[in-house]
């Protein structure tokens, strides 16, 4: 399982209420019927952090990646959020990736 | 394979032979051979059925190549099936091969030929084809085909494809919202190109209506070729909410799109990319990368590096040089995790203990420190259960699992899961005194916890404190009214009391007990044992018609037939019924036994014999003897190993070893390769006594246990080991704690232990022993006393055989037995 703090996007100091709020928000955006895998991941992360002792367990016994993830988030936030347009190549690559993903995710028919 | 001769014409006789060979090759999926055989045949005589078979062989060959990821070759093979009308037999598969091979231009041209035509494709394949067609026609601009003008249907696809491309190009070129919308309006919302309209609409209206945009994006399903685009647009829309997790979920192509659309500086994108690469390259690379990031918040960099140290503790000094010295607790924690990573459990234990000590010194009674100590000590208990290198306090007497759990409960007494865990271990280790004490304390601390109330009920029942048990059970049912487990236990307890009254010749008191038991019964879940017991008490009181009706109802609840009447007869034996009542039960059971046995009936009997009061061995054994012929018929049933184990345990418990032998023999005949049947055969031959094993059998069982352990069948391995060691105790850990005092005992210490055990008995111990013998018989009394003796100070460390012998000696002494018995000291003549 990936680091549950990172999965839920909460700080190590977050309390029960904050973790629950964040979990419910994520589940609202990715409900089990539409994104079952993501939901499972959020559920597992929530269960791993839903109790103060479990969070301590995670911090003391796990070699979690929360700090690195926090660094990356800080870098993303530090960048001035602006809006621009992607390049023609980026759009073409995205379309190709989607086409390729459709045929590789599915078994060839027949 | 020898290639068939393709040069000259083939005679009709040879053609028939070839056709047979080709058909056989096709049938056996030797497609390459089938192609080589059908090709010359079709060339000479293009019969439709041969042409069809050749196409089938090509398809099979193409699939085989695609399975080896040879998509280019697979596509070439499929092209051989091209018909005169320009269509292929397997267009969707061909499309897959072209796309997988990266031939998008060719794929787009191919797909345009199929979409919208009068195709015979099934609906599902058609939908896939249309989705892919839209994505391909947007991704790849198709020039006009000089050979033929597009059909009206093809034009219907080409127009929105061009509109989609132009809309995308306008957006890329930075055109105004109005201009992009003008292009988008050319795309019908009902067409397969709708996703392009949705995606661009979201991008140009950002960030005004985020909710509306999210709803629109959700209309692009995960199977769509536009789904990767949808995910990227969603990440763009997330704005400040896009965190590291969201970023790393994106593919590099999506990240590039998001970075450009959100105008992220190159340095940030580079940091995000390189940190992900460094993380993939291992902790050292990431550590080195992080240390070279002076512009990032240093507190976060320190924290990230600290998390990497358990994977590379040799960098500890480098870390401290850069960020300053770590507290002792952190140093020990890192070393402990590093030792765990190496599988050095003894060292891990040492460092964890040092971490706990550091917490105690530095933080004393600080709440977080207490919880941390509890977490680490529970972790040590878990490690101790798995790794014998973890020794606990190292005195060899205490089970380290229990001692760490005890210490964790002291550090964090409010953690009910930890308390329940410790209670479970006390019970499993038969440390009855500690079990009862901890349950009493815990139920006061957590009065509304249903799991603890259940434990409290069971603890009170084990101490025969019925009123206390009933009190806990009532409290539990207030919290959890449908707790069938506690209802059943309370009914069983009172039925057991009623049996005692019946055996003492007091049916009126037994009826009172059963009336009280009925209060625990739920109307929608009547209890068979209670109904049968009530009927038998009424029979004894002479209330015949009513009693017989109730008896039959109870038998029906217990499964009818042999299962039901056996349950009734067993109850009769346990109540020591005599006269016409016993005769009635006997007759009904005999009549029921005329029906051949079934799996369900035998398992119901096994379940009945597993009830606590079935330890009335003599009565049950005599009842079982009457069932012998019927049970033998069931030996031919194809038992599952788990079912067989349950039956074997019951047969062995009641000395029905001849029946067990027949079951094992029959099972072995049916399945000679399964060693577990042979194990039971040996158990039956030795009548469950390992001292009767021959050397050959001991070696055979040893091999069996090793083989079972190797195939990770630990249940079987433990079972065989338990039998070989002559006790019911499981492997290493308990044996370790039991063996240590055995070795330290000398002949002089045994009488002392004996005296201590007598002191540990309640007042009037001799009377109690006499009552026990009257109640349970000599063997039952010894078993009961062994349980009690384990709770005395010297008890937990004593091996079972020694405890048993001591108890046998006590029974003999109290009953003034003149029978010679082996004095415990006589047996203790080991070096």
| B631 and B649 inside one domain | yes
| B601 and B589 inside one domain | no
| B782 and B767 inside one domain | yes
Residue B239, in any domain of the structure = no
Q: Nearest 5 degrees, angle CA B446-CA B452-CA B458? A: 140
Q: B460: part of which helix (H) or strand (E)?
A: helix B450-462
Are the CB atoms for B168 and B138 separated by under 8 Å? yes
Using the 8-state DSSP alphabet, how is residue A51 labeled? S
Environment class of B825 (CB within 10 Å of its CB; exposed 0-12, middle 13-18, buried 19+)? middle
Question: Which residues does residue B525 pair with via DSSP β-bridges, in sequence order?
Answer: B522
**pLDDT at residue B200 greater than cutoff 70:** yes
Picking from B371, B392, B414, the residue at the C-terminal end of a domain is: B414
Q: B387: part of which helix (H) or strand (E)?
A: none
Picking from B364, B383, B414, the residue at the C-terminal end of a domain is: B414
| B589 and B600 inside one domain | no
**pLDDT at residue B778 greater than cutoff 50:** yes
Among B61-65, B97-101, B368-372, B377-381, the range with the most confident prediction by mean pLDDT is B377-381
Asked if A28 has any chain B CB less than 8 Å from its own CB, the reply is no
Asked if B329 has any chain A CB less than 8 Å from its own CB, the reply is no
**pLDDT at residue B286 greater than cutoff 90:** no
Q: According to the model, what pLDDT value does residue B732 have?
A: 37
Residue B297, in any domain of the structure = no
CA–CA separation, B742 and B799 (whole Å): 7
| B601 and B575 inside one domain | no
Q: B484: part of which helix (H) or strand (E)?
A: helix B484-503
The more confident residue out of B541 and A24 is A24
Q: Is B94 helix (H, G, I), strand (E, B) or coil?
A: helix
| B753 and B789 inside one domain | yes
pLDDT in tens, B742-776: 333 444 444 445 554 454 444 456 666 776 776 66
| B627 and B668 inside one domain | yes
**Which positions 124-183 of B are in contact with A (Cβ < 8 Å)?**
125, 128, 131-132, 135-136, 138-139, 168-169, 171-174
Which of B294, B297, B256 shows the shortest CA–CA distance to B273? Answer: B256
In chain A, where are the structural domains located? 4-78
Q: According to the model, what pLDDT value does residue B826 have?
A: 30
**pLDDT at residue B473 greater than cutoff 50:** yes
**Which positions 32-61 of A are in contact with B (Cβ < 8 Å)?**
34, 52-53, 56-57, 60-61
Residue B801, in any domain of the structure = yes
B771-776's contacts with Cβ under 8 Å and 24+ in sequence apart are B773/B811, B773/B814, B773/B815, B775/B500, B776/B615, B776/B616
Q: According to the model, what pLDDT value does residue B743 have?
A: 37
Which of B232, B48, A26, B120 shows the shortest CA–CA distance to A18? Answer: A26
Q: Please name the residue that has the structure tokens 């003999």.
A: B812
Q: According to the model, what pLDDT value does residue A22 have?
A: 92
Q: According to the model, what pLDDT value does residue B569 have?
A: 92
Q: Which residues of A touch B171 (CB under 8 A)?
A: 85
| B664 and B743 inside one domain | no
Using the 8-state DSSP alphabet, how is residue B522 labeled? B
Domain around B790: 737-827
Task: State whether ipTM is beyond 0.90.
Answer: no
Tell me the CATH number at B639.
1.25.40
Picking from B381, B399, B414, the residue at the C-terminal end of a domain is: B414
| CA quadruple B569, B575, B578, B580: dihedral sign | negative
Which of B148, B80, B85 shows the shortest CA–CA distance to B94? Answer: B80
Candidates B264, B290, B294, partner chain A, best to mutate (most A CBs within 10 A): B264
Q: According to the model, what pLDDT value does residue B823 have?
A: 34
| B745 and B794 inside one domain | yes
Residues in chain B: 831
Q: According to the model, what pLDDT value does residue B377 have?
A: 95
Are the CB atoms for B461 and B442 separated by under 8 Å? no
Q: How big, in percent rounded to 5, are the helix, strand and coil portions of chain B?
A: 75, 0, 25
Asked if A16 has any chain B CB less than 8 Å from its own CB, the reply is no
Helix B71-79, helix B48-67: angle, nearest 10 = 170
Using the 8-state DSSP alphabet, how is residue B505 labeled? T
Q: Which of B358-372, B628-642, B816-830 has the lowest mean pLDDT?
A: B816-830
Instruction: Please tell me the distance in Å from A97's CA to the nearest CA on chain B.
Output: 7
Q: Which residues of B touch A109 (CB under 8 A)?
A: 92-93, 96, 125, 128
Q: How far is CA B190 from CA B193, B266, B559, B607, in A?
A: 8, 40, 63, 65
Environment class of B682 (CB within 10 Å of its CB; exposed 0-12, middle 13-18, buried 19+)? buried
Residue B544, in any domain of the structure = yes
Residue B527, in any domain of the structure = yes
Are the CB atoms for B768 and B730 separated by under 8 Å? no
What is the arithmetic mean of pLDDT over B358-373?
Answer: 81
What is the arithmetic mean of pLDDT over B689-710?
Answer: 86
pLDDT in tens, B788-829: 666 554 555 565 666 666 777 777 766 654 333 333 333 322
Residue B23, in any domain of the structure = no
Contact flag A70-B303 (C-beta cutoff 8 Å) = yes
Environment class of A59 (CB within 10 Å of its CB; exposed 0-12, middle 13-18, buried 19+)? middle
pLDDT in tens, B129-153: 788 889 999 988 776 565 566 667 7
Instruction: Point out the residues of chain A with pLDDT beneath 70.
Output: 1-2, 63-67, 78-83, 105-110
pLDDT-above-90 percentage for chain B: 20
Instruction: Please tell me the distance in Å from B129's CA to the nearest CA on chain A.
Output: 11
What is the arithmetic mean of pLDDT over B618-622?
Answer: 79
pLDDT in tens, B648-671: 988 888 888 988 999 999 988 888
- How much is the mean pLDDT over chain B? 80
Which of B135, B138, B139, B95 shows the shortest CA–CA distance to B113? Answer: B95
Q: Please name the residue that has the structure tokens 């992607």.
A: A86
pLDDT band at B336 (very low <50, low <70, confident <90, very high): very high
pLDDT in tens, B392-404: 876 656 789 999 9
CA–CA separation, B487 and B484 (whole Å): 5
Q: According to the model, what pLDDT value does residue A81 have?
A: 56
Q: According to the model, what pLDDT value does residue B748 have?
A: 46
The more confident residue out of B775 and B62 is B62
State the CB neighbour count (10 A cutoff) for residue B183.
22
Asked if A6 has any chain B CB less than 8 Å from its own CB, the reply is yes
Domains contained in chain B, number? 4
**Which positions 336-365 of B are in contact with A (Cβ < 8 Å)?**
337
Q: What is the SS3 assignment for B125-187?
A: HHHHHHHHHHHHHHHCCCCCCCCCCCCHHHHHHHHHHHHHHHHHHHHHCCCCHHHHHHHHCCC
Cβ neighbors of B768 (< 8 A, separation 6 or more) are B761, B762
pLDDT in tens, B149-189: 666 777 778 888 999 999 999 999 988 888 888 888 888 88
What CATH architecture applies to the domain A4-78? Orthogonal Bundle (1.10)
pLDDT in tens, B428-464: 888 899 999 999 999 999 998 989 999 999 899 888 7
The more confident residue out of B683 and B801 is B683
pLDDT in tens, B721-745: 888 877 543 333 333 333 333 333 4
Q: Which residues of A touch B246 (CB under 8 A)?
A: 9
Contact flag B128-A109 (C-beta cutoff 8 Å) = yes
Which of B377, B340, B335 shows the shortest CA–CA distance to B359? Answer: B377
| B722 and B754 inside one domain | no
| B650 and B760 inside one domain | no
**pLDDT at residue B781 greater than cutoff 80:** no
Q: Which of B139-148, B216-225, B554-563, B690-699 has the lowest mean pLDDT?
A: B139-148
Residue B198, preceding peptide bond in cis (omega within 30° of 0):
no
| B695 and B760 inside one domain | no
Q: According to the model, what pLDDT value does residue B800 have?
A: 62
Q: How many helices (DSSP H) and strands (DSSP E) are in chain A?
A: 6, 0
pLDDT in tens, B553-565: 999 998 888 999 9
Tokens found for residue B314:
């040799």
């Amino acid at each position: 399982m990936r680091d549950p703090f990172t999965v839920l996007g909460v700080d190590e100091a977050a309390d029960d209420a904050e973790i629950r709020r964040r979990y419910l928000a994520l589940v609202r955006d990715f409900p089990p019927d539409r994104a079952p895998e993501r939901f499972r991941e959020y559920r597992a992360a929530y269960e791993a952090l839903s109790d103060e002792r479990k969070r301590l367990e995670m911090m003391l016994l796990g070699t979690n990646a929360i700090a690195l993830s926090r660094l990356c988030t800080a870098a993303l936030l530090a960048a001035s959020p602006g809006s621009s347009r992607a390049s023609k190549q980026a759009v073409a690559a995205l379309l190709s990736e989607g086409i390729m993903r459709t045929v590789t995710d599915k078994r060839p028919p027949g | 394979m020898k290639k068939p001769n393709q040069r000259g014409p083939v005679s009709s006789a040879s053609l028939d032979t070839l056709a047979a060979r080709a058909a056989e090759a096709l049938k056996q999926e030797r497609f390459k051979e089938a192609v080589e055989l059908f090709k010359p045949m079709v060339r000479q005589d293009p019969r439709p059925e041969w042409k069809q078979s050749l196409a089938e062989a090509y398809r099979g060959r193409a699939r085989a190549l695609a399975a080896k990821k040879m998509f280019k070759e697979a596509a070439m093979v499929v092209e051989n099936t091209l018909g005169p009308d320009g269509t292929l037999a397997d267009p969707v598969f061909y499309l897959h091969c072209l796309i997988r091979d990266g031939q998008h231009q060719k794929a787009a041209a191919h797909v345009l030929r199929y979409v919208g035509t009068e195709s015979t494709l099934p609906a599902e394949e058609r939908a896939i084809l249309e989705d892919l067609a839209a994505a391909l026609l947007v991704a790849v601009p198709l020039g006009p085909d000089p050979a033929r003008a597009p059909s009206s249907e093809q034009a219907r696809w080409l127009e929105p494809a061009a509109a989609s491309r132009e809309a995308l190009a306008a957006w890329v070129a930075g055109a105004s919202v109005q201009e992009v919308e003008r292009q988008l309006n050319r795309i019908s919302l009902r067409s397969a190109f709708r996703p392009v309209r949705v995606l661009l609409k979201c991008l140009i209206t950002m960030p005004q209506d985020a909710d509306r945009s999210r709803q629109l994006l959700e209309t692009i399903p995960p199977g769509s070729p536009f789904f990767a685009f949808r995910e990227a647009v969603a990440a763009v829309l997330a704005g400040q909410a896009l965190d590291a997790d969201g970023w790393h979920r994106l593919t590099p192509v999506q990240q590039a799109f998001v970075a450009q659309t959100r105008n992220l500086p190159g340095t940030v994108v580079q940091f995000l990319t390189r940190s992900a690469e460094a993380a993939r390259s291992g902790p050292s690379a990431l550590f080195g990368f992080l240390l070279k990031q002076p512009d990032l918040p240093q507190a976060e960099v320190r924290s990230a590096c600290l998390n990497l140290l358990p994977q590379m503790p040799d960098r500890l000094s480098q870390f401290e040089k850069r960020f300053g010295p770590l507290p002792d607790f952190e140093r020990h924690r890192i070393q402990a995790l590093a030792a765990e990573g190496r599988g050095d459990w003894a060292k891990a234990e040492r460092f964890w203990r040092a971490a706990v000590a550091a917490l105690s010194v530095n933080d004393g009674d600080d709440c977080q420190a207490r919880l941390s100590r509890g977490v680490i000590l529970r972790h040590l208990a878990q490690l101790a259960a798995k790794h014998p290198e973890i020794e606990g306090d190292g005195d060899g007497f205490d089970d380290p699992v229990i001692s760490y759990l005890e210490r964790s409960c002291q550090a964090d007494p409010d953690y009910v899961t930890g308390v329940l865990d410790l209670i479970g271990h006390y019970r499993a280790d038969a440390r009855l005194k500690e079990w009862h004490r901890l349950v009493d304390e815990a139920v006061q601390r957590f009065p509304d916890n249903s799991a603890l109330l259940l434990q409290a009920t069971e603890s009170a029942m084990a101490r025969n404190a019925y009123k206390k048990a009933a009190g806990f059970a009532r409290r539990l049912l207030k919290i959890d009214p449908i707790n069938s487990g506690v209802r059943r236990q309370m009914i069983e307890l009172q039925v057991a009391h009623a049996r005692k009254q019946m055996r003492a010749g007091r049916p009126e008191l037994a009826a009172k007990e059963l009336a009280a038991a009925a209060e625990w019964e739920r109307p929608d879940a009547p209890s068979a044992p209670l109904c049968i017991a009530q009927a038998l008490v009424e029979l004894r009181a002479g209330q015949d018609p009513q009693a017989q009706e109730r008896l039959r109802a109870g038998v029906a609840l217990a499964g009818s037939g042999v299962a039901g009447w056996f349950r009734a007869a067993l109850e009769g034996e346990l109540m020591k019924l005599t006269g016409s009542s016993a005769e009635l039960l006997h007759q009904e059971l005999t009549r029921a036994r005329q029906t051949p046995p079934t799996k369900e009936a035998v398992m119901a009997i096994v379940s009945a014999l597993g009830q606590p009061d079935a330890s009335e061995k003599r009565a049950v054994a005599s009842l079982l003897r009457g069932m012998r012929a019927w049970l033998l018929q069931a030996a031919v049933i194809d038992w599952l190993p788990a079912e067989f184990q349950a039956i074997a345990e019951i047969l062995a418990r009641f000395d029905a070893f001849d029946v067990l032998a027949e079951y094992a023999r029959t099972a072995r005949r049916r399945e000679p390769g399964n060693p577990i049947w042979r194990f039971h055969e040996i158990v039956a031959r030795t009548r469950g006594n390992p001292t009767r094993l021959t050397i050959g059998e001991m070696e055979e069982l040893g091999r069996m246990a090793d083989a079972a352990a190797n195939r990770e069948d630990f249940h079987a391995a433990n079972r065989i080991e338990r039998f070989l060691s002559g006790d019911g105790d499981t492997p290493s850990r308990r044996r370790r704690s039991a063996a240590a005092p055995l070795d330290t005992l000398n002949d002089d210490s045994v009488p002392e232990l004996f005296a201590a055990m007598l002191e540990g008995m309640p007042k009037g111990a001799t009377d109690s022993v006499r009552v026990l013998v009257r109640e349970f018989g000599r063997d039952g009394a010894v078993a009961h006393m062994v349980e009690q003796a384990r709770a005395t100070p010297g008890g937990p460390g004593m091996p079972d055989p020694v405890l048993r012998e001591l108890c046998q000696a006590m029974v003999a002494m109290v009953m003034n037995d003149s029978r010679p018995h082996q004095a415990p000291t006589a047996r203790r003549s080991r070096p």
